[in-house]
């Protein structure tokens, strides 16, 4: 068995030639580049039970040879995949995969996953690969490959245009460093899906949906440093798993989940700031804020069209003024989505993602100096102090809840959100019934505050729309009046929920 540690980077086809001429490749190259035409057939059951069990079984034809490969799910904790890989050359009389060539435990795992269903060709990839070997000044050995081609499954096709960086020997962080140099030339998106995983989507009849954040599971004896790294990796994974869905399918929920990932990420930077004490985290947090703002405008128009405007439309079916307001908002939404896609495909986005991955992989916060023993503090000791701080910040405003201005209400909402995200980071340290009840009460409170925030966002958007089209003033005023009435009722609900929440004993004390 070999371990395959690989970082996949996607880009537009026309950008691949620029990548191939990158100066860093000339500096690091060892030997001449090689070119191959690779045809790979992936085998699975009709419902892709192998792939869903973390197994990818293929037979690749190249240079007159037929190589059978089995890859297992990634064990990596960063963006670079780290998976098991078993390869064997098949004989001329072996047409398809030969499970008898695999170790007994893997053969049994395949049969269990298939559960008696036949295994047959499900996906074909035709790839032209240009590869070269690189050696860094530190002695890390990397195979650099450019893949151009196509995937075919179930009568459908998908383009392949990507760079693969595979670590042959050395430190995985060298992959991120090389990727950052390449990203200076062209925008590169980190590919979170293998060709086999893309094939499952291609063969299916349903488009992939948005992915919510998994609950983070942390051992009670974990220290602050390991917890920080784990949380940031999960936030980054959450962000990137939704990126392709948002771009390719214009998924409003996937875009929302990206904003959630960025907010959680910034909450993590803030929660651990006093321990880490490094400027890199501050720069990364600013980039996360930039990206959240860049895609936030599209999300605001999504909410406006799917939530804010709908109640008034239902009360006034066929109203021409309201229809004109929708048409104007839809035009602005298209522009906002174009801006969001531009940000997601930008060099700044590529750099941000790769710098964050490198930051976590190298634990760059240690460069800030000081007493390194602070990283060894048990998370179970650190968590209550962090949670107390966020609860205190929220309570400070909540004491004056009856007299809060609109801006102060928005600030209270943000403070509660920080508390909610930080609680989700540390929840696995405590008894589930305690955390579940507390988080439920906090979520209810946040939902009401979120609805109030949507109304405030709608006010700003209607002001913008009426500046562009003064004839929309009348329907915009009707919309604002409708939601201001609802907001007054919602605020009374928010006050009551806050007082109920305030009386709940924090479970971490």
DSSP assignment string, 40-78: EEEEE-TT-HHHHTT-EEEEEEETTEEEEEEEEEE--SS
Looking at residue 361, what is its pLDDT?
Answer: 92
Tell me which residue has tokens 């004109």: 324
Give the per-residue SS3 of 211-279.
CCCCCCCCCCCCEHHHHHHHHHHHHHHHHHHHHHHHHHHCCHHHHHHHHHHHHHHHHHHHHCHHHHCCH
Looking at residue 64, what is its pLDDT?
Answer: 84
In angstroms, rounded to a whole number, what is the distance separating the alpha carbons of residues 304 and 298? 10
pLDDT band at 111 (very low <50, low <70, confident <90, very high): very high
Q: Is the predicted pLDDT of residue 81 greater than 80, yes or no? A: no
pLDDT band at 450 (very low <50, low <70, confident <90, very high): confident
Over residues 338-366, mean pLDDT: 94
Second-level CATH architecture of 224-502: Alpha solenoid (1.40)
Instruction: Average the pLDDT over each of 185-199, 212-226, 389-403 and give the range with the smallest value.
Output: 185-199
Second-level CATH architecture of 2-203: Beta Barrel (2.40)
pLDDT digits (tens, 9 = 90+) for 336-350: 999 999 999 999 999
pLDDT digits (tens, 9 = 90+) for 115-141: 999 999 999 999 999 999 999 999 999
Looking at residue 18, what is its pLDDT?
Answer: 94
Q: Is the predicted pLDDT of residue 77 greater than 70, yes or no? A: no
Q: Is the predicted pLDDT of residue 22 greater than 90, yes or no? A: yes
Over residues 5-18, mean pLDDT: 93
In angstroms, rounded to a whole number, what is the distance separating the alpha carbons of residues 484 and 478? 10
Chain-centroid distance of CA 473 in Å reads 39
pLDDT band at 205 (very low <50, low <70, confident <90, very high): low
Report the candidate in 40, 46, 48, 44 with the shortest Cα–Cα distance to residue 68.
40
Looking at residue 10, what is its pLDDT?
Answer: 93
Q: Is the predicted pLDDT of residue 1 greater than 80, yes or no? A: no
Task: Decide: helix, strand or coil at residue 171.
Answer: coil
CB neighbours of residue 201 within 10 Å: 19
> CB of 417 within 8 A of CB of 495?
no
Looking at residue 313, what is its pLDDT?
Answer: 93
What's the chain's average pLDDT?
91
Q: Is the predicted pLDDT of residue 372 greater than 90, yes or no? A: no
User: In 146-223, which ranges are continuous DSSP H helix?
Assistant: 173-183, 195-203
Provide CATH 2.40.320.10 ranges for the chain.
Answer: 2-203
Instruction: Average the pLDDT over each of 72-81, 167-176, 315-324 and give the range with the smallest value.
Output: 72-81
Report the candidate in 20, 362, 36 with the shortest Cα–Cα distance to residue 175.
362
Looking at residue 95, what is its pLDDT?
Answer: 77
Over residues 357-380, mean pLDDT: 90
Looking at residue 24, what is its pLDDT?
Answer: 95
Looking at residue 393, what is its pLDDT?
Answer: 94
pLDDT digits (tens, 9 = 90+) for 148-176: 999 999 899 999 999 999 999 999 999 99
pLDDT top residue among 79 and 42: 42
Over residues 196-224, mean pLDDT: 85
Q: Is the predicted pLDDT of residue 482 greater than 80, yes or no? A: yes
Q: Is the predicted pLDDT of residue 409 greater than 90, yes or no? A: no
pLDDT band at 78 (very low <50, low <70, confident <90, very high): low
Provide CATH 1.40.20.10 ranges for the chain.
Answer: 224-502
Q: Is the predicted pLDDT of residue 75 greater than 70, yes or no? A: no
């Amino acid at each position: 068995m070999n371990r395959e540690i690989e970082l996949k980077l996607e880009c537009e086809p026309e950008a691949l030639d620029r990548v191939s001429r990158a100066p860093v490749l000339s500096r690091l190259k060892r030997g001449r580049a090689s070119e191959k035409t690779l045809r790979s057939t992936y085998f699975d059951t009709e419902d892709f039970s192998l792939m869903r069990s973390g197994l990818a079984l293929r037979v690749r034809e190249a240079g007159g040879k037929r190589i059978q490969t089995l890859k297992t799910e990634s064990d990596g904790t960063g963006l670079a995949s780290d998976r098991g890989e078993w390869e064997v050359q098949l004989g001329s009389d072996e047409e398809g995969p030969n499970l008898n060539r695999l170790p007994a435990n893997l053969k049994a795992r395949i049969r269990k996953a298939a559960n008696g269903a036949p295994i047959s060709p499900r996906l074909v990839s035709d790839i032209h690969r240009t590869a070269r070997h690189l050696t860094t000044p530190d002695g890390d050995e990397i195979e650099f490959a450019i893949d151009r081609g196509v995937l075919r499954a179930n009568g459908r096709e998908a383009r392949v245009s990507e760079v693969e960086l595979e670590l042959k020997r050395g430190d995985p962080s060298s992959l991120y460093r090389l990727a950052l140099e390449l990203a200076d030339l062209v925008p590169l998106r980190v590919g979170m899906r293998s060709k086999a995983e893309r094939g499952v989507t291609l063969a299916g009849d349903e488009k992939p949906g948005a992915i919510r954040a998994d609950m983070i599971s942390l051992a009670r004896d974990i220290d602050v440093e390991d917890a920080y790294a784990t949380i940031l990796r999960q936030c980054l994974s959450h962000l990137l798993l939704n990126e392709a869905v948002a771009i390719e399918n214009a998924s409003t929920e996937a875009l929302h989940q990206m904003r959630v990932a960025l907010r959680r990420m910034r909450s993590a930077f803030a929660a651990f700031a006093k321990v880490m004490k490094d400027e890199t985290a501050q720069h990364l947090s600013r980039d996360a804020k930039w990206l959240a703002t860049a895609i936030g405008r599209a999300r605001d128009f999504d909410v406006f069209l799917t939530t804010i405007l709908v109640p008034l439309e239902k009360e006034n079916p066929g109203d021409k003024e309201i229809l004109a307001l929708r048409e104007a908002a839809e035009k602005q939404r298209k522009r906002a989505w174009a801006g969001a896609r531009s940000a997601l495909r930008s060099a700044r986005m590529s750099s941000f993602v790769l710098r964050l991955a490198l930051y976590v992989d190298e634990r760059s916060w240690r460069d800030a100096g000081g007493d390194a023993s602070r990283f060894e503090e048990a998370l179970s000791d650190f968590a209550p102090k962090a949670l107390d701080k966020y609860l205190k910040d929220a309570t400070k405003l909540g004491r004056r809840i009856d007299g809060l201005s609109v801006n102060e209400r928005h600030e209270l909402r943000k403070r509660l959100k920080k508390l909610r995200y930080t609680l989700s980071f540390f929840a696995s340290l405590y008894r589930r019934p305690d955390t579940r009840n507390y988080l439920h009460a906090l979520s209810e409170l946040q939902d009401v505050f979120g609805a109030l925030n949507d109304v405030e966002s709608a006010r700003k958007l209607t002001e913008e729309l009426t500046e562009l089209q003064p004839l929309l003033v009348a329907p915009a005023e009707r919309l604002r009046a409708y939601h201001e009435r609802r907001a007054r009722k919602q605020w009374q609900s928010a006050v009551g929920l806050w007082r109920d929440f305030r009386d709940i004993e924090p479970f971490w004390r």
